[in-house]
Chain A
Amino acid sequence: MSDNRIRLRRLFKPCRGWVIAVPLLWLTLFFLLPFGIVLKISLSEAAISVPPYSAIFDYGRETLNIVLTFSNYLFLTTDTLYIAAYWGSVKIALLATVLCLLLGYPMAYAMARAPMRWQLVLLLLVMLPSWTSFLIRVYAWMGILSNNGLINNTLIWLGWIDSPIRMLNTNFAVILGIVYAYLPFMVLPLYANLTRLDTSLLEAASDLGSRKLNTFFTVTLPLSKGGIIAGSMLVFIPAVGEYVIPELLGGPNTVMIGKVLWEEFFHNRDWPVASALAMVMLAILIIPIALFHRYQSRELEE
């Protein structure tokens, strides 16, 4: 380490504490602490009051009574709706992630191999839809997929079908919606990863007589593992908890946990059960989140 570096550190010392404290405190208060509160409320009982749950801590006769209720978690296991919703969410999110990867990987690969002056334009073209409105992009599919929508009308006009095919309000529409909405988030990390790929490795492989496809599977694919993980997690994790897409494109057969949580909270006003649902969802997602974190922090700090 150079002298300068050490001096730089020393000079930063006085304001160092403050610079660290401000973001750390804000995020602790508004991101970390709320999870503790969700945990607490998931262990309380629903009550008809404002707010609609019973207190866990209770000071009575100079003793502190703590009443923890695990009934909310037990309740989740007794009603098959919740288990079906968790399973349904994971299944749909997984399928959508795989499809996103299958479409997004070749896209990112072509972008990374494009002439330099085209790369920025292509990147902006892929990202632009994600800067418009998520809600409106999901809404666009309602007009395309509905029974008297664009696809069905066209097919009937062509005489290929007599009666419309039901596409809106199915799981198919939900998966399509997720792939459509999250595709840019799959392409971005893959592209970032593939542009850094050392092309001399590919040349070496081809000089040694490796076929193109073979080189891809033995050199390119393993080296882009980080991008694949980051992109997949950016799609999979939010998709598991997705509310808007199943609500607008899904049907009665679509049970996803984000929608169930929303209804528990807003329609049934059962805050403790909604909190327990959130806690279990977090437990399911903690490993994917940790995976994503490991990749992302390597990106940030190296």
Chain B
Amino acid sequence: MRKPSFTTVMLIVGLLFLYLPMVILVIYSFNSSRLVTVWAGFSGRWYIELFRDRQILAAVWTSLRIAFFSASMAVCLGTLAAFVMTRFSRFRGKTVLSSMVTAPLVMPEVITGLSLLLLFVHMAQMVGWPADRGMVTIWIAHTTFCSAYVAVVVASRLREVDLSIEEAAMDLGAGPVKTFFHITLPVISPALAAGWLLAFTLSLDDLVIASFVSGPGATTLPMVVFSSVRLGVSPKINALATLIILAVSLATFLAWYFMRRNEAKRRQAMLQDMTAGR
């Protein structure tokens, strides 16, 4: 047997490092003891308790709604921004726009959260809106930073797409709007789906920004988890973590399966074309 290379060993070590803590989390969610660190037998009681916890369930529903609307809006804004950056020639404000698209990717959350809260407080004083903070202010905050991520995902797809198809459509008399909706949009739709999913998970996951811009009316899931986790380890959170990991793994597997199937189909079609053409 060939000796594995140094980098292969490091890849395996890195993957173990990434997954072992999550595996441990999942195992201890089935522990019947309240002490998370002592194994006392297999039990599903923490899942039952989790589904009886009204506070957590309400927070899940709030978070899901915010994430859905944030991701949808972020896809619209992010796609426009990506289109402008990849398809338009230089214009005034392009540098500003591209900075505002890349900066949120790295901006520390405490800065973004604080600055948005101060904006909302100011707006409330000047124009009387938003009168109180809650789901709408969280939605605006999440849309803003998520659209930057969507823009990056969509722009990388737009760069790959052959411009000549769009040009051909226009040569044949399609207007720019029609070309966009009939040619460009279908071609970049996988990137739109990926961007939407990424924005959805980012919004679901955010604690810091939401804590700043939220009001008493809206408590998201990360806020509930954080206040519970601060007090120490709790098996109910392990059960919740297991369900989140399961959902994400399932979604990733499905995405991988469809990508692979499409790839196989394309290869099949190409092979058929080649044999037919001979």
Given A23-B97, A140-B22: A237 in contact with B106 (beta carbons within 8 A)? yes
Report B-chain residues with C-beta under 8 Å of the C-beta of A160. Answer: none
Q: Which of A58-66, A70-78, A121-129, A201-209 contacts B (4 or more CB under 8 A)?
A: A121-129
Closest A residue to B122 by beta carbon equals A37
Evaluate contact between B106 and A289: CB separation under 8 angstroms.
yes
Report A-chain residues with C-beta under 8 Å of the C-beta of B141. Answer: 30
Q: Which of A26, A126, A285, A293 contacts B102 (CB 8 A)?
A: A293
Evaluate contact between A20 and B248: CB separation under 8 angstroms.
no
Q: Is the interface of A mostly helix, strand, loop or mixed?
A: helix
Q: Which of A8, A258, A281 contacts B167 (CB 8 A)?
A: A8
Instruction: Identify the A interface with B (CB < 8 A).
Output: 4-5, 7-9, 11-12, 14-16, 19-20, 22-24, 26-28, 30-35, 37-38, 41, 51, 103-104, 106-107, 109-111, 113, 120-122, 124-126, 128-129, 131-137, 139-144, 146, 148-150, 153, 180, 183-184, 187, 233-234, 237-238, 240-244, 247-248, 258, 261-262, 265, 271, 274-275, 278, 281-282, 285, 288-289, 292-293, 296-297, 299-302
B181 CB to nearest A CB, Å: 12
A100 CB to nearest B CB, Å: 10
13 A-B pairs, CB-CB below 8 angstroms?
A12-B87, A23-B78, A24-B93, A30-B116, A30-B119, A34-B118, A110-B8, A135-B205, A135-B226, A244-B207, A258-B108, A293-B102, A302-B159
Report A-chain residues with C-beta under 8 Å of the C-beta of B232. Answer: 142
Report B-chain residues with C-beta under 8 Å of the C-beta of A292. Answer: 102, 105-106
Evaluate contact between A240 and B108: CB separation under 8 angstroms.
yes
A194 to B17, alpha carbons, bound, how many Å? 22
Report A-chain residues with C-beta under 8 Å of the C-beta of B125. Answer: 51
Report A-chain residues with C-beta under 8 Å of the C-beta of B97. Answer: 20, 23-24, 27
Q: Is the interface of B mostly helix, strand, loop or mixed?
A: helix
Query: Interface digits, B116-142 against A, CB 8 Å rule (1 contact, 0 not)?
Result: 101101100100000000000000110
A280 to B140, alpha carbons, bound, how many Å? 26
Report A-chain residues with C-beta under 8 Å of the C-beta of B14. Answer: 103-104, 106-107, 126, 183, 187
Evaluate contact between A285 and B201: CB separation under 8 angstroms.
no
